[in-house]
Amino acid sequence: MTELRDRRYLVTGGSRGIGRAIAEALSSRGARVVITGRDASVAERTAKEIGAHAVAADVGEETDCVRSVREAADALGGLDGLVNNAGIGEFMPVEKLDADKFRRVFAVNVLGPAIMTREVIPHLRKAGGGDIVNISSTSGLKGGKNSTIYSSSKFALRSMTESWQAELRPDDIRVILVNPSYVQTEFGGAPAPTELKPKFLRAEDIAHAVVGVLTMERRGFVPEVTVFATNPF
């Protein structure tokens, strides 16, 4: 088993929801963690609560991606892993498609992870290898009603993951795709659920899956993990 203690991770969108749960799970196992979030005050508060370092950044902006990797590497003395978790969703019928919203989702869900990965690769190579975890969705496996924008962005993330796996394995860099099904969070701007349904997935279930694949001995890796609720019916 690979120990996570003292390994250095950057988690995008780590101030809330799945990103926070992943960052907290890594930190609780002794990893050193930097989180990003668009709201500086929320990111700082979360970082204090989970024992991490915060960088205010919007992964939909290239300059923010470049800066956040640089600041994370400076804060931790290098990087061993990146979790591309930050993501947004827009849902509408195709005949009402909004081009600006389409571009914004792709800027955050597709170009953002690509730029973050581009910037982190030199740090992982310097460390002798590392991990890139892309948080996708079951919407990246099968399209659905009103999901033209969101699903296509997650299909693109899956394709990029497969491309990076082919490119980066010779550098001992493992690239892993995680596909959560519906998770009870404030995703999409919805308020945080006041009462969690016991049979529905929670953010910590996705964090458990991420920790599981990261702790596998480095001679192997899991290319893709999909997480469904066992019996939400």
Name the token pair of 167: 């490119």
Torsion of Cα atoms, 66 then 70 then 75 then 78, to 10°: 120
Collapsed DSSP state (helix, strand, coil) of residue 139: helix
Confidence of residue 186 (pLDDT cuts 50, 70, 90): confident
Confidence of residue 189 (pLDDT cuts 50, 70, 90): low
Segment 212-228 mean pLDDT: 98
> For the chain, what are the domain ranges?
8-227
Q: Match 């019916």 to its residue by tokens.
A: 233
| Domain 8-227 homologous superfamily, CATH | NAD(P)-binding Rossmann-like Domain (3.40.50.720)
- Which active-site residues does the annotation give? 150
Evaluated on CA atoms 95, 100, 103, 108, the torsion sign reads negative
Name the token pair of 12: 């995008």
- The C-alpha atoms of residue 97 and residue 148 are separated, in whole angstroms, by 8
- The C-alpha atoms of residue 35 and residue 80 are separated, in whole angstroms, by 14
Confidence of residue 188 (pLDDT cuts 50, 70, 90): low
Residue 170 one-letter amino acid: P
DSSP code of residue 104: H
Task: Write out pLDDT tens, residues 96-113.
Answer: 999 999 999 999 999 999
* Angle at alpha carbon of residue 36, lines to 31 and 39, rounded to 5°: 140
pLDDT beyond 80 at 185: yes
